[in-house]
Structure 1
Amino acid sequence: MTRMGTLGVLLLSLVGCTLIQNDRQSQAPSEVNSPLDCPVVLQRRSEPKVEPANTANALLGFRRVQCARPKEERDALIQDYLEQSSRQAVMRTLMLASCAPDQTPGLLANALVQARDMEPHAKDVAALLDLLAAQAESYALLERRLHSTQKKLDDMIQGIRAIEAEMGEASDGADTSGQRGAQP
């Protein structure tokens, strides 16, 4: 029963709104010349917040968009920014280089040094640069350890080869002396 009552109220509201709308349409001018003539209430949209270009959020947003681009496009942008000397160009070069740090370690390091030399920075940008510097130092440490391990491995392989060569010479000498002793 309550469902029927609710349905009835909704139906009456719909019919009432339709009658009011039809009444307005009959009174509305046939041509709308300005937004003020429009019977529809226009709602003002809130303007999107625009980040200043010198904030960490703006730099990270730039990085996120650019890192999604193909490598060739990023490389072309890097070349364009390298020809400029503005703060924005240096920061954008840094963000682009951070997209593939294993492929552009020298560029990343140089852009980071340039960016850190461009004092003063906002606190959030300074913190971002510190984070990138710590990451770059960690990456360099891992590369040094990898190089050291590779050198130890190469030395070990050379030592094994030398031992094998000595063993091969010793067995060749034993074979020839053993054959001489067996023949009368």
Structure 2
Amino acid sequence: MNAIKIMLILSILVLTACQSQRNNSGNHFATPLMQSEQSLPELSEVLLYRSQICQSDADKQEQWLQQYRTIEKRWAELERLIIASCRPDMTPGILKNQLVKLKKQDKWPSDYKALFALMSAQLNALNNSVEQKQQTIDQLNKTIEALTRIEQDLESRER
């Protein structure tokens, strides 16, 4: 009797594990994030899915971005956002475009809209830090040029 219970429990655990695991062979996942335009996954599922996507190598992520580029469906737009969010420093244009597209669509639930707002704020912060870094580099280059001119003037006076 105990052996039957153990086998039954093990069978249930194996079936549950198999159903909860996504197949990572082929394209990327066997089941799409959104089954249809009407069915949105819970935000927690989206975040777990993003975590899995972000663990893939950059070449694979780029391949997926290209694959979803031609699909004009809401789920494909969300897929591109998720993939681009893995490397925001490498894909800021794609990330920004996807956020703009998705935020224009009114059909998103409030938790998705909040996620898009958070991602937009983070992207703006990233862009601001990139701008500040570039301004610092420009200022340092000007300082180096000024010091070089001063050094040249001093050398010419010494002669």
TM-score, normalization by structure 1? 0.65
Percentage of matched positions with identical amino acids: 24
* Aligned CA-pair RMSD: 2.5
The answer for the alignment partner of 2:44 in structure 1 is 57
Structure 2, gaps ≥5 residues long: 21-33
Question: By how many angstroms is 1:61 displaced?
Answer: 2.0
Where do residues 68-147 of structure 1 align in structure 2 (5 Å cutoff)? 68-147=55-134
Question: By how many angstroms is 1:45 displaced?
Answer: 5.0
Cα deviations by residue, 1:102-151 (Å, 9 ceiling, x for unpaired): 11111111111111112221111111111101101111111111111111
CA distance in 2 between counterparts of 1:58 and 1:119 reads: 21
CA distance in 1 between counterparts of 2:42 and 2:72 reads: 19
Where do residues 155-170 of structure 1 align in structure 2 (5 Å cutoff)? 155-170=142-157
Give 3-state SS (helix, strand or coil) of 1:108's partner. helix
CA distance in 1 between counterparts of 2:55 and 2:107 reads: 30
CA distance in 2 between counterparts of 1:66 and 1:148 reads: 34
Which amino acid in structure 1 is aligned with residue 54 of structure 2?
C
CA distance in 1 between counterparts of 2:127 and 2:58 reads: 23
Contact 1:56–1:125, Cα closer than 8 Å, also in 2: yes
Match of 2:135 among 148, 154, 161: 148
Give 3-state SS (helix, strand or coil) of 2:71's partner. coil
Give 3-state SS (helix, strand or coil) of 1:101's partner. coil
Which amino acid in structure 2 is aligned with residue 163 of structure 1?
I
Structure 1, gaps ≥5 residues long: 1-20, 22-39, 173-184
Which amino acid in structure 1 is aligned with residue 86 of structure 2?
C
Which amino acid in structure 2 is aligned with residue 111 of structure 1?
Q
CA distance in 2 between counterparts of 1:69 and 1:140 reads: 25
TM-score, normalization by structure 2? 0.75
Which amino acid in structure 2 is aligned with residue 105 of structure 1?
P
